[in-house]
Amino acid sequence: MTLAVHNIEVVYEDVMLVVKGASIRVPRDGIVALLGANGAGKTTLLRAMTGLLDVHRGSITRGHVSIDGAPVDTRRAADVVRSGVSQVMEGRRVFIEFTVDENLRVGAYTRGRGEIAEKLDRVYGMFPVLGERRSQRAGYLSGGEQQMLAIGRALMADPKYILLDEPSLGLAPQVVERIRDLVVDIRRSGTGVLLVEQNAAMALSIADHGYVMENGKIVMDAPAQALRDDDDIREFYLGTGTGAGTLRDVKHYKRRKRWLS
């Protein structure tokens, strides 16, 4: 049982080659980290996996994606969700005018009415803080709570696999810990996780396997433990080398903060 990307190539606007032959595998019972600097192509790879490239004028020009061995037509996002893959996009895109409850119900659009109550109970069980605020508008939630809502919404579709695009971005350390624990719970409940993170330390602390993407290519593919011990990873992603990694993270954080505001 695996979600797999086979040697995929992605082009934007018919000319910009952004993903240059990348392969990754996410087992149903695993957490897989995808690391890489800004612009490496991580989000683009996720879009290719969930049929969201169309919206961004992108297309797959080579390779394919398969879910549990079956090739999927990645062009239609709703079909991908029905096949069991849900994505939480960068920047916690919740509907701020909708209540918490309404946001979660939107996530179950591929499910029958009868199932929704059961899924809601499950998500509120995982996120008690959302249950307490179910009638409140999502725009009034804190950043961390909005991220939990975005994850909860993806779980409403009861996915086999969930793709999380930088869930810890801009959150306080305790909230990042909470998200990390949640990711572990999600895996335990039988959903495979692909975790895209700039916070490499967090991602590698819970991942079983990791990939590093640079300039559209997968340049490292190894068990998480091996990546935690690797000198380059320590230097550039964990900031425990000479400090170069830390510097880059600070620069990155400032850039992203500007982008989000």
The binding site for Mg ion (CB under 5 A) comprises 42-43
For ligand ATP, the closer of residues 39 and 243 by Cβ is: 39
Judged by DSSP in three states, 113 sits in: helix
- Contact 132/83 with Cβ under 8 angstroms? no
Q: What angle is formed at CA 104 by the lines to CA 98 and CA 107, rounded to 5 degrees?
A: 110
Stretch of residues binding ligand ATP (CB under 6 A), selected from 54-62, 72-80, 81-89, 149-157: 54-62
Q: At what angle do helices 143-155 and 173-188 cross, to 10 degrees?
A: 10
Judged by DSSP in three states, 85 sits in: strand
Q: Facing residues of 91 across strands? A: none
Burial of 203 by CB count in 10 Å (0-12 exposed, 13-18 middle, 19+ buried)?
Answer: buried
Q: Return the one option of Mg ion, ligand ATP, none that residue 18 interacts with (CB less than 5 to 8 A, by type).
A: ligand ATP
239 secondary structure, DSSP code = S
Per rule CB under 6 A, count of chain residues that contact ligand ATP: 15
CA-to-CA distance for 211 and 174, rounded, in angstroms?
26
Q: Return the one option of ligand ATP, Mg ion, none that residue 255 interacts with (CB less than 5 to 8 A, by type).
A: none
Residue 200 within binding range of ligand ATP, rule CB under 6 A: no
What is the closest distance, in whole angstroms, from the C-beta atom of residue 38 to Mg ion in the complex?
8
For Mg ion, the closer of residues 9 and 68 by Cβ is: 9
For ligand ATP, the closer of residues 100 and 213 by Cβ is: 213
Q: Return the one option of ligand ATP, Mg ion, none that residue 56 interacts with (CB less than 5 to 8 A, by type).
A: ligand ATP
Residue 157 within binding range of ligand ATP, rule CB under 6 A: no
x/- binding map, residues 11-50, to ligand ATP, per CB under 6 A?
-xx--x-x-----------------x-xxxxxxx------
Name every residue whose Cβ is closer than 8 Å to that of residue 226 and which is 6 or more positions away in sequence. none
Which residues would be at the binding site for ligand ATP (CB under 6 A)?
Answer: 12-13, 16, 18, 36, 38-44, 56-58
